[in-house]
Amino acid sequence: MFRFLAIRFGRAALTIVLVVTFAFIVLRLSGDPAVAIMSPEAPPEALAAFRRAWGLDQPIWVQYFRYFGAIAQGELGQSMRDGRPAIVLVLERIPATLMLTIPAFILKVGLGVPAGIQAALHRNSFTDRAVMTMAVAGFTVPSFVLGLILVLVFAVQLGWLPSGGQESWRSAILPVITMGLGGAGVLARFTRSAMLEVLGQPFIRTASAKGVPWPQVVRGHALPNAAIPTVTIVGFMVGSLIAGAVVVESVFSWPGVGRLLVVAVGNRDLAVVQCILLLVACTMVAANLTVDLLYGVLDPRMRARKS
Amino acid sequence: MTHNLVTIRGLGVAFNGVPALRGIDLDVGKGEAVGLVGESGSGKSVTWLAALGLLPATAKVSGSVTLGHEELLGAPPARLDAVRGGRIAMIFQDPVSALNPVHRIGKQIEEALRLHRGITGAAARAEAIRLLEQVGIPDPRRRIDIFPHEMSGGQNQRVVIAMALAGQPELLVADEPTTALDATIQAQILDLLRRLRAETGMALVLISHDLGVVADMCDRVGVTYAGRIVEQAPADRLFAAPAHPYTAGLLAALPELDGPRRRLAAIPGFVPEPWAMPPGCAFAPRCPIASALCDAGPPPRASIGDGHEVACLQPSTPGVFAAASTPMTVRA
């Protein structure tokens, strides 16, 4: 078990380093922050001074090692735009993002998992077809299209809900639904196929043959087995709690981490972008690690393999 | 027989309109051991899956299956749940996938104890340990808490059998219980079944494609072909004097340990596809003694004495099949 954890943590750390490195290189090759922040018409001396001030005149590998040295000391840099620490900028946006992503996550799981289970239990029935049609619609329609449709109907036409901003909790309803429906569709499809796979297993027939009533077969024998693959997708959704709202926050002009990311990328505000990416990588990796540990709890065969 | 435990009459099953069973008649007496032999797809397993309501809802089942005086076909789910595992237990071919991988074996046995005998808690655990001991699991006190993947296939099958015994059934239906196991383990499991039958007095239906196993274990044997029982007789009589050409063909296809070496006589042709059944006897196209009469209609099953029934217009004497395939019978 210890060996297993050590390997997992090592791999997680490596993933984070790779993400940060990749982001560092791409950001520095894709545009000049001095021009983006100051303006292309700024005098060359001002631009040069800006580059010198932020160390952008150094070779890229020097910048890279400086950056990692700073991270090692817990220093994530300052925003090139207003000079405040990047981490502060990001942290003050997190509550707003979680206000959308956590209810959306609950909606995804609360809607997607039961719908998938019902579809599998009534395979090829009207319920199954209805659920699958909705699910396919839910995850093939891009979230910005769904978001705009919801705005048109509920904000513009009916006037029931605000179309954007963050005035009250009511502003959160449309973005939460937009994110929740897509995720619920993915989860419904996944849960359905996991359930169908399990329901076809011989041990389900054994349970019926020993007289277990069908609802108990489903609850006691099918669900615990179907949970194993479903947890992967749910874990992935947990991992995207921080950064999963980029598009939706933009559509609904919601002041969260996603919007900050879009603005910071546009400005080439390197420290802020890197800080967000680091945070996203960390949550993703933590979610994956949790999923791996959960596998062990759910599946005794995995426990055996690990120890 | 007046003291039938299970009486099956005219049992038919169709999947998507394609018939898999075409009128099975079978009796199982109290404490009797009945063998069902036949090729895969001939309907031996489907008969019992249908009888216990274990087929998917898409299967159309007709006919009658009575347990004592109770009709099982179309019985409400709660009644079937009480019968399954309580009065008739069924075990299957692959023991490794027959147990739930995420539950400890003790828990799976205790579930059957709770459902059929109302035993829970410490008493259920004690009884589960006793059952594991009865089926020959060594060190059951420790083993009760392990998972199915931590045991061998043979031990899994023992656990499956313990689980089937938990409800103290009057009939155990064993569907190819040893097919997935090694030869030495096969013999052990068959010994176990024989011993348990002696200890509990339960009836046994042994479904197998292995004629030797059935000859060894059963009082009476039914031979299935294309969804019907074509011949049924006391085991020793069936093997000594098969009356249906198909049974004769099956026996001729077996090597003899003590006889002269000879080329095995395979039955020519193939089992007809369920959607292209011949109008008369399903075996007629492959039968060495078939005549025009055989195509007129399915031959009825008739007694030829001593509890021997056969569905053939020309019940034959042994050797007919081997004689018909003389060119293949070469003395080494």
Q: Is residue A291 part of a domain?
A: no
Integer Cα distance of A150 and A152 in angstroms: 5
Contact partners, residue A184, CB within 8 Å, separation at least 6: A107, A108, A111, A112, A115, A135, A138
Q: Determine the distance from the C-alpha atom of residue A161 to the mean position of all C-alpha atoms in its chain, rounded to a whole number.
A: 26
Bridge-based pairing state of the strands B309-310 and B302-303: antiparallel
Q: Do B86 and A211 touch (CB under 8 A)?
A: yes
Single-letter amino acid, residue B222 = G
pLDDT (tens digit per residue) in B100-117? 999 999 999 999 999 999
Residue in chain A nearest B82 by alpha carbon: A211
Non-local (6+) Cβ contacts of B85 within 8 A are: A209, A210, A211, A212, B112, B115, B116, B164, B166, B167, B169
Residue A212 C-alpha, separation from nearest chain B C-alpha, in angstroms: 6
Helix ranges, B201-317 (H): 211-217, 235-240, 245-252
A208 close to B (CB below 8 A): yes
Asked whether residue A289 is assigned to any structural domain, the reply reads no
In a domain? residue A155: yes
Which of A211, A224, A300 is facing B115, going by the closest CB pair? Answer: A211
Closest CA–CA distance from residue B165 to any residue of chain A (Å): 10
- Domain annotation covers residue A138: yes
Per DSSP, B272 falls in state P
CB–CB of B163 and A298 under 8 A? Answer: no
Least confident segment among A199-203, B282-286, B288-292: B288-292
Q: Does A209 touch chain B (CB under 8 A)?
A: yes
Does residue A28 fall inside a structural domain?
no
Residues B24/B47, Cβ–Cβ less than 8 Å: yes
Say how far apart CA B95 and CA B151 lie, in whole Å: 11
CB-based contact (8 Å) between A212 and chain B? yes
> Residue B288 has what pLDDT?
84
User: Does the structure show a pLDDT above 60 at B321?
Assistant: no
One digit per residue, the tens of pLDDT, for chain A of length 307 reads: 677 778 888 888 898 888 888 888 888 777 777 777 777 788 888 888 888 888 888 888 888 888 888 887 878 888 878 888 888 888 999 998 998 899 999 999 999 999 999 999 998 889 899 999 999 988 888 888 888 888 889 888 888 888 777 777 888 888 899 899 988 999 999 999 999 999 999 999 999 999 999 999 999 999 999 999 999 889 888 888 887 788 888 888 888 898 999 988 888 888 888 889 888 888 888 888 888 888 888 888 877 665 5
State the Cα–Cα distance between residues B144 and A75, nearest whole angstrom. Answer: 55
What residue ranges of chain B are covered by domains with CATH 3.40.50.300? 4-218
Which residue pairs, CB below 8 angstroms and at least 24 apart, start in B254-257? B254/B211, B254/B212
B159 touches chain A (CB under 8 A): no
Residue B90 and residue A209: Cβ atoms within 8 Å?
yes
- In a domain, residue A43? The reply is no
Which residues, listed in sequence order, are joined to residue B189 by a DSSP beta bridge?
none
Quote the tokens at residue A307: 């120890």
* Count of domains observed in chain A: 1
Best mutation site among B100, B107, B159 for testing chain A: the one with the most A CBs within 10 Å? B100
- Looking at the complex, does the CB of residue A123 fall below 8 Å from at least one CB of chain B? no
Q: Is residue A123 part of a domain?
A: yes
C-alpha angle with apex A25: A22 to A28, nearest 5 degrees?
A: 145
Q: Classify strands B70-71 and B18-29 as parallel, antiparallel or unpaired.
A: unpaired
More confident site: B323 or A285: A285
Any A CB within 8 A of B84 CB:
yes
- What does the alpha-carbon distance between residue B98 and residue B100 come to, in Å, rounded to a whole number? 7
CB contacts of B112 in chain A (<8 Å) are: 210-211
Confirm if A18 and A277 have CB atoms less than 8 A apart: no
Model pTM score = 0.82
pLDDT digits (tens, 9 = 90+) for B154-195: 999 999 999 999 999 999 999 999 888 888 888 889 999 999
Q: Where does residue B319 fall: left (phi above 0), alpha (psi -120 to 50 degrees), or beta otherwise?
A: left
Distance CA B144, CA B137 (A): 9
Confidence at B240, pLDDT banded by 50, 70, 90: confident
In this predicted structure, what is the pLDDT of residue A242?
81
Q: What span, in angstroms and rounded, lies between the C-alpha atoms of B279 and B298? A: 7
ipTM of the complex: 0.85
Q: How many CA atoms lie within 13 A of A228 on its CB side?
A: 17
A230 touches chain B (CB under 8 A): no
Contact B238, B35 (CB under 8 A): no
Rounded Cα gap, residues A163 and A175, in angstroms: 9
Decide if B98 and A206 are in contact by the 8 Å CB cutoff: yes
| CA–CA min distance A135, chain B (Å) | 25
Q: Give which of A231, A172, A223 is closest to A195, Cα–Cα.
A: A223
The domain made up of B4-218 is a member of CATH 3.40.50.1260: no
- Residue-level pLDDT at A227: 92
Is A298 near chain B, with CB under 8 Å? Answer: yes
Helix/strand/coil (H/E/C) assignment for every residue in A130-142:
HHHHHHHHHHHCC
Of residues A114, A89, A270, the one with CA closest to residue A195 = A114
B292 interface with A at CB cutoff 8 Å: no
The residue behind tokens 């000879």 is B262
Cα separation, B42 vs B250, in Å, equals 13
CATH number of residue A226's parent domain: 1.10.3720.10
Choose among B92, B102, B163: nearest Cβ to A224: B102
Torsion of CA B121, B122, B125, B131, to 10 degrees: -110
Tokens of B131: 């059952």
Distance separating alpha carbons of residues B276 and B261, to the nearest angstrom = 37
Average pLDDT for residues B21-36, to the nearest whole number? 93
Return d(Cα A192, Cα A200) in angstroms, integer.
Answer: 12
Determine contact: A301 vs chain B, CB below 8 A: yes
Helix A223-239 to helix A170-199 angle (10° resolution) is 140
Which residues of B fall within a CB distance of 8 Å from A209?
Answer: 52, 54, 84-85, 89-92
DSSP class of residue A212 equals -
Q: Give the residue from chain B lying closest to A198, CA to CA.
A: B100
B236: Cα within 13 Å, side-chain hemisphere: 1
Determine the Cα–Cα distance for residues A79 and A130; give it in Å rounded to an integer: 49
Is residue A30 included in any domain, yes or no? no
A230 contacts A191 by C-beta, under 8 angstroms: yes
Q: What is the pLDDT of residues B188-228, one digit of tens each?
A: 899 999 999 999 999 999 999 888 889 889 999 999 999 99
In this prediction, residue B169 carries a pLDDT of 94
Searching chain B, which residue's CA lies closest to the CA of residue A226? Answer: B102
Who's near A4: CB < 8 A, 6+ residues apart?
Answer: A306, A307
Domain that holds residue A111: 98-255
- Residue B39: count of CB within 10 angstroms of its CB: 16
Residue B332 has pLDDT above 60, yes or no: no
Residue with tokens 């237990």: B89
Beta-carbon separation of A210 and B115 below 8 A: yes
Write down the residue that tokens 């000859």 correspond to.
B215
Phi and psi at B232, nearest 5°, equal -145, 130
Burial label for B305, CB within 10 Å (0-12, 13-18, 19+), is exposed
